[in-house]
Structure 1
Amino acid sequence: MQLPRPGCYRRPMSPLARLWRYARPYRSQILLGSLFSFLNKAFDLAPPLLIGVAVDIVVQREASWLAQLGVTDLMAQLWVLAGATILIWGLESLSEYVFQLYWRNLAQEVQHALRLDTYAHVQGLELAYFEDRTTGGLMAVLNDDVNQLERFLDVGANDLIQVATTVVIVGAIFFALAPSVAWLAFLPVPVVIWGSFRFQRRIAPRYADVRERVGDLSAQLANNLSGITTIKSFTAETREAERVRRESDRYRASNRRAIRLSAAFVPLIRMAIAAGFIATLVLGGSLALSGTLAVGAYSVLVFMTQRLLWPLTTLGQTFDLYQRAMASSKRIFNLLDTQPTMRDGLSPLPLGAVRGELRLENVSFAYRGGGEVLRGLSLTLRAGQTTAIVGATGAGKSTLIKLLLRFYDPQSGRVTLDGHDLRTLKRHDLRRAIGYVSQDVFLFHGTVYDNIAYGDPDASREAVIRAAKVAEAHDFITALPFGYDTIVGERGQKLSGGQRQRISIARAVLKDPPILILDEATSAVDNETEVAIQRSVARLAEDRTVVLIAHRLSTVRHAHCIFVLSDGRLAEAGTHEALLARGGLYAGLWQVQTGERAETPISAD
């Protein structure tokens, strides 16, 4: 089914109107679900009529309503009534089964489509968006808020239809049987409707606050679970439990404010309903005693008054579900309305046409709310060569990599690939041409095989194993309990840092990109693993552009060219030997790392 594109609606539209547009592909299901909800309530209202017919048979006997239809025998009348009862109850049960199928499946369909579209939209936002928000907060929108909508479609939509059906059918019966009494039974209805709308307006901001608080709580929980190792190592369990308690208290207090108002609705409405019921009971009874109203009709009126008015008490719960759903829908649509500030390029980049020359031309860049990280930086990374970028912490090395991958755009200057400004290229094509091995290796929960095959899901098992061998990961993988089918745990926590790094390299090898970027690939490994990774990089460097970001200068000494950054500017450039001979910043860093001049100060930003 073709769904509306995320973010294509105008802001003034209400969440309910947007949901209706969003559910356009499912309108036939909505109509059928509404039809069977109506039929179910119609059959549900029939038993009071049957009770009235039964009373009529007992009181009027051969002059009863059924006798006037031609069924004069009293036992035959009772059997006809029994047959009608079985038929009506059967149809009521069948219609309930069908409307639940439609509404509950509709809830699942809309929830599924909305979650996928929202997630796809979020994936299209630039990296800066995620750096300003918490994972837990986004999870609350993508999961909990979407589930609130499901709860309303599961129950609330059907309740609204059935309340409306009750008012229409019971009203028709009342005015047909006793017009003089009917208006009394309907007296509470305007009060209930007015009270419901007043309740809706007052409860809406309270539930909006509840949704915000649950987002904050989810963010705190997600943050703590991600950092559980740090929490334990600093014996901070009590402190973090207190933080969670504070967020949970805020959530609880916000819910209390909503509950205080929500809980008052039904008792107040019940008193209005009691007035209507008493009026029907007394006035209808006086008409029956005077002989103006048949006893069977009076029985129907008494039962129907209760069936008319009592369901109105559920409006409070229905509006409660509705306001929760609307508060959540508003958050979801606000997220869908968030537009990326970085536009995708239009020019395709055929993988086979990539030579791999990268160039920064007078590039300056600053993160939002921060100072400049790169200042008028210009350098060229030659195609088919290994280029290293080194410098002290904060020199701008990792930022440079983010610009090459177009996670960000520079504020001034430009970054090019084979002469093409990255902003003009399709991001998908650009990133397909680059293999990236991050300093902070991320492995997905799954098997070793799955994590390597992430580089090319269509690759054969033989290709995956070849990639592992190139990355010198095959030996340790085969030594694991289940080899390539060993579960690595969340973020690869069951593996060592060096093992995770080599799996990450194998993943990049399998991708077989013309450009390979390794960001501090040996920063957290021992000397033996570093040597293994260096051998892997040497194999990978053949016929491709390799960019190495490193603190350990021993890993870059064989690069064709080394750029030394300092305070966001290019300080030095050349080969390892040439930079040592120059005796500048690089030489000082080298001497400190090799222990030749331990007191040498290191320039820092």
Structure 2
Amino acid sequence: MSSNRQHTSSFVALGRLLRYARGYRRRIIAATTCSIINKLFDIAPEILIGVAIDVVVNQEESFVAGLGFETAQEQITVLAALTFFIWAGESLFEYLFQVLWRNLAQRLQSDLRQDAYEHAQRLDMSFFESTSSGQLVATMNDDVNQLERFLDGGANAMIQVGVTVVAVGAVFFVLSPLIALLAFTPIPLIIWGAFYFQRKAGPLYADVREKVGDLSSRLANNLGGIATIKSFTAEQRESERLKQASEAYVQANARAIRISSAFIPVIRMAILAGFLATFTVGGMMALEGSLNVGAYGVLVFLTQRLLWPLTGLAEVIDLFERAMASTRRILDLLAEPVNVRDQAGTSLAQPVRGEVSFNNVEFRYGSSGAGVHGISLDVPAGHTLALVGATGSGKSTLIKLLLRFYDPERGEIRIDGQPIREVSLKSLRDAIGLVSQDVYLFEGSIRDNLAYGKPGASEEEIIEAAKTAEAWSFISALPEGLDTAVGERGVRLSGGQRQRLSLARALLKDPPILVLDEATSAVDNETEAAIQRSLSRIGHNRTVIMIAHRLSTIVEADTIAVVENGRVIEQGDHQSLLARQGAYHAQWQVQTGQVLAHTTD
């Protein structure tokens, strides 16, 4: 989200928001109408006070007498009835605009958050690799809440200030054009001041929103890595780093507050000039008899009604600027392009056999330039392909391309002869079960996590998958069994237990293609042996693609491909690769200790 976007006009952001909210047009019109009517009722009592003064002073010659009410008592009674209905109307429409604006704020913030989240889910993995989770959480939570706060009160306040200026201005020009000109003299200065402060405050509040995202990122990272912090006794260091991020947020707010706080003192003096002009000139005119005493009272009261609410522009502008800074971030997230396009409605031909082919596939990461170059591999249905090679050689990249986390720049990937670009992402990913080295378990029970890929699975199916993955032995030993809570990210379970649950979760999905991305690299020997036994059972009639550092786990693979610097340099089965005495043979000797033994001999 670039700085030039952040510093675009707040009114441009408002226009973008209104375009997004076009489905809420009727609600916005209804809420705005109630705000306008409420404000008209709100300023009416000041007019009635002036009319009442006119009745008391002029009695049978008053303005109300001209409407057919001859005695002063009748006129006062009429004014009292009007006052009752005006106050009742004001109360009614205040209730209505409060309900309408607040419900609109709730509905709009909920839909914005949902749309932002759903759009984020469609974004490419490259977006998440370049954007911190803290910034995203701040956008979907804090920024959306900031917009809600503006809609709760700020939108109504802006509308009512505008209505006040127009309605009171109309009354002024009817009663005394001269005093109207005097009273309105400060308004251009007030409006200019509002826009001046808006231009000054806009970039400052954009910076405030950025600092909120930075602070959220720091908190999320530290809480997620609390074990590492404790192990390195880095609590004080991390507290200091958090303090620095928090202080940066405080300073960014302080700069914005200095600008917004200067608005009221400046505007207050402009308002005083307008009020004194009305008070003095109008009083002189009333004394000379050129202005009705009741009209003078109306003008004095309405001058306050006209000018004093403008001091509230500072708070309204403050809310507006914060909301528009947040709106830019939300709408910029919604505007992020989705490069991996979904071909909804087109599915893989059923049943999926699981034949996978990589045809001259090329891809490189923009940030590092690493990737894969001209890789071609064929995996017949029901066969096992093992990918081996050094870290960063491109093995995991092939898996990401198969799952369409990215699309290759050249070449294509096919399943059962169908290019995966031409089928829906759901159809593609439903056919693939992924077991990654970095196991992610959601907070909830073991049952919830196992059934994640098949929400309607029966208990029998869940238990069978757990048994196949050799996870049932430890699950059944737990006091609450399948209903045991795993904790956030599965922290209550060991690494080996999490890995077995990940395998069981993939097996319950029963995919024709199973992908194991270094699934045994971070587990103990017992868990590795258990997973190997599971694979020997589940590999039949299923295509398996494995990434492994431990060559002992892939000796039974039908095909082993050695990847180096993004290229396949060798492929074959275990025995043929050993006989070739190339890169695989050298790696096998290192892992089995044959090189060391040979050197010792």
**Fold match, TM over 0.5?**
yes
Conserved 8 A contact 2:340-2:404: no
User: Which of 461, 465, 481 is the equivalent residue of 2:459?
Assistant: 461
Question: Which stretch has the larger CA shift, 75-84 or 204-213?
Answer: 75-84
CA deviation after TM superposition for structure 1 residue 578, in Å:
4.1
Paired residue for 2:239? 241
Partners in 1 of 2:63 and 2:291 — Cα distance? 14
Q: 1:347 Cα deviation (Å)?
A: 8.3
Aligned: 1:30 with 2:23: no
| Cα pair 2:138 2:213 within 8 Å, conserved | yes
Task: Please identify, of 407-416 and 258-267, the stretch whose mean Cα deviation from structure 2 is larger.
Answer: 407-416
Between the aligned partners of 1:80 and 1:583, the Cα distance in structure 2 is 109
List aligned pairs for 1:362-381, cutoff 5 A: 362-381=360-379
Instruction: Specify the alignment match of 1:119 in structure 2.
Output: 117
Q: Which residue of 1 aligns with 2:482?
A: 484
Matched, 1:416 2:402: no
User: What's the CA shift for 1:65?
Assistant: 4.5
Give the drift of 1:513: 1.0
Distance 1:381-1:92 versus aligned 2 partners, 3 A rule? same
Please tell me whether the aligned partners of residues 54 and 81 of structure 1 are also in contact (alpha carbons under 8 angstroms): yes
Matching of residue 206 in structure 1 with residue 204 in structure 2: yes
CA distance in 2, matches of 1:333, 1:152: 16
Higher mean C-alpha deviation, range 29-38 or range 126-135: 126-135
From 329, 350, 353, the equivalent of 1:352 is 350
Which AA in structure 1 matches 2:413? Answer: V
The amino acid of 2:30's aligned partner reads L
1:393 aligns with 2:391: yes
Deviation at 1:457, TM superposition (A): 1.9
Report if the CA contact (8 A) 1:364-1:372 is conserved. Answer: no
* Local SS of the residue matching 2:262: helix
**Aligned-pair CA distance for 1:227:** 1.7
What is the TM-score when the length of structure 2 is the normalising length? 0.91
**Once the two structures are superposed, what CA deviation does each residue of 1:499-550 show, in whole Å capped at 9, x if it has no partner?**
1112211211121111010112122222222222222222321211011211
Among 308, 326, 341, the alignment partner of 1:310 is 308
Report if the CA contact (8 A) 2:55-2:63 is conserved.
Answer: yes
Instruction: Give, in angstroms, the shift of residue 581 of structure 1.
Output: 4.9
Q: Contact 1:48 / 1:300 at 8 angstroms: preserved in 2? A: yes
Cα separation, partners in 2 of 1:600 and 1:357, compared to 1, 3 Å: farther
Are residues 182 and 569 of structure 1, via their aligned partners in 2, closer, same or farther at CA, if it must alter by over 3 Å? Answer: closer
Residue in 1 that maps onto 2:166? 168
Structure 1 residue aligned with 2:447: 449
Q: Distance in 2 between matches of 1:282 and 1:499?
A: 85
Note closer, same or farther for the CA distance 1:261–1:527 as it changes in structure 2 (3 Å cut). same
CA 1:582–1:410 in structure 2 vs 1: closer, same or farther (change >3 Å)?
same
510-519 vs 337-346, greater mean Cα deviation: 337-346
Residue 187 (structure 1) aligns with:
185
Identity between Structure 1 and Structure 2 (%): 58
Q: Which moved more, 1:72-81 or 1:111-120?
A: 72-81
State the 1:36 CA deviation: 0.5
Deviation at 1:37, TM superposition (A): 0.1
1:482, 1:67 → 2: CA distance?
Answer: 86
**Distance in 1, Cα, partners of 2:419 & 2:269:** 72
Distance (Å, rounded) in 2 between the aligned partners of 1:554 and 1:57: 104
Indicate conservation of the 8 Å contact 1:262/1:316, yes or no: yes
Mapped to 2, the partners of 1:192 and 1:96 lie a distance apart of: 27
Cα drift, residue 318 of structure 1: 1.8
> Which of residues 46, 55, 71 in structure 1 aligns to 2:53?
55
Q: Following TM superposition, by how much is the alpha carbon of 1:153 offset from its aligned partner in structure 2, in angstroms? A: 1.8
In structure 1, how many angstroms separate the alpha carbons of the residues matched to 2:313 and 2:11? 24
- Residue pair 1:592, 1:600 contacting (<8 A) in 2 also: no
For 1:292 and 1:566, the matched residues in 2 are separated by: 98
Deviation by residue 1:369-401 (Cα, 9 ceiling, x = unmatched) = 324443433322221112222233333222221
AA aligned to 2:451 is A
Q: Secondary structure at the match of 1:573?
A: strand
Which among 292, 295, 298 is matched to residue 297 of structure 1? Answer: 295
Name the Cα RMSD after superposition: 2.6
Aligned partner of 1:402 among 380, 400, 403: 400
Amino acid at match of 2:180: A
Matched, 1:255 2:268: no
Question: Is this contact kept in 2: 1:347–1:424, CA < 8 A?
Answer: no
Which consecutive unaligned segments of at least 5 residues does structure 2 have? 1-8
- Cα distance in structure 1, aligned partners of 2:553 and 2:11: 57
Once the two structures are superposed, the pairs formed by residues 63-212 of structure 1 within 5 Å of their partners are 64-71=62-69, 77-212=75-210
Q: Determine the C-alpha separation between the residues in 2 that align with 1:21 and 1:402.
A: 36
What is the letter of the counterpart of residue 197 of structure 1? Answer: F
Against the structure 1 CA distance between its residues 86 and 312, is the aligned structure 2 distance closer, same or farther, given a 3 Å change threshold?
A: same
Mapped contact 1:203–1:323 kept (Cα < 8 A): yes
Superposed displacement of residue 272, structure 1: 0.5
The residue identity in structure 1 corresponding to 2:42 is D
- How far apart are the structure 1 equivalents of 2:42 and 2:387? 76
Q: What's the offset of the Cα at 1:298? A: 2.0
Change in Cα spacing, 1:59 to 1:345, as seen in structure 2 (3 Å) is: closer
| Cα distance in 2 between the residues matched to 1:530 and 1:351 | 35
Tell me the secondary structure at the aligned position of residue 453 of structure 2: coil
- Distance in 2 separating the partners of 1:292 and 1:137: 65
Change (3 A) 1:506 1:543: same
- 1:429 has 2:427 as partner: yes
| Range with greater deviation from structure 2 (102-111 or 555-564) | 555-564
Does residue 518 of the first structure (1) align with residue 516 of the second (2)? yes
Q: Given the superposition, is the C-alpha separation of residues 260 and 599 from structure 1 closer, same or farther in structure 2, using an over 3 Å criterion?
A: farther
Residues 386 and 20 of structure 1: CA distance in aligned 2, closer, same or farther (over 3 Å):
same
Paired residue secondary structure (1:415): strand
Q: Which stretch shifts more, 203-212 or 130-139? A: 203-212
Question: Is contact 2:578–2:584 with CA below 8 Å preserved after alignment?
Answer: yes
| Cα deviation, residue 76, structure 1 | 5.5
Aligned residues: 591
More displaced, 91-100 or 394-403? 394-403
**Alpha-carbon shift at residue 28 of structure 1 (Å):** 0.7
SS of equivalent to 2:104:
helix
Moved more, 223-232 or 514-523: 223-232
Q: Is the 8 A contact 1:592 1:599 kept in 2?
A: no
Of 189, 195, 218, the residue aligned with 2:216 is 218
Q: Is the partner of 2:354 in helix, strand or coil?
A: coil
SS in 1 for 2:388: strand
Say if 1:415 and 1:422, in contact at 8 Å, map to a contact too.
Answer: yes
Please tell me whether the aligned partners of residues 348 and 423 of structure 2 are also in contact (alpha carbons under 8 angstroms): no
Change (3 A) 1:300 1:480: farther
For residues 145-167 of structure 1, the C-alpha deviation after alignment (integer angstroms, 9 at most, x for no partner) is 22222222222221121111111
Picking from 20, 23, 30, the partner of 2:18 is 20
Q: Is the 2:10–2:321 Cα contact (8 Å) retained in structure 1?
A: no
Q: Is the 8 A contact 1:351 1:429 kept in 2?
A: no
Match runs of 1:336-351 below 5 Å = 336-345=334-343, 348-350=346-348
Other structure's SS at 2:350 match: helix
Q: Report the more deviating stretch, 438-447 or 117-126.
A: 117-126
In the alignment, which of 267, 270, 283 is matched to residue 269 of structure 1? 267
Determine the structure 1 residue equivalent to 2:229: 231
Q: TM-score, normalised by structure 1?
A: 0.90
Compared with structure 1, are the counterparts of its residues 183 and 373 closer, same or farther at alpha carbon in structure 2 (3 Å cutoff)?
Answer: closer
Deviations 1:119-152 (A, max 9, x none): 2222222111211221112222222222222222
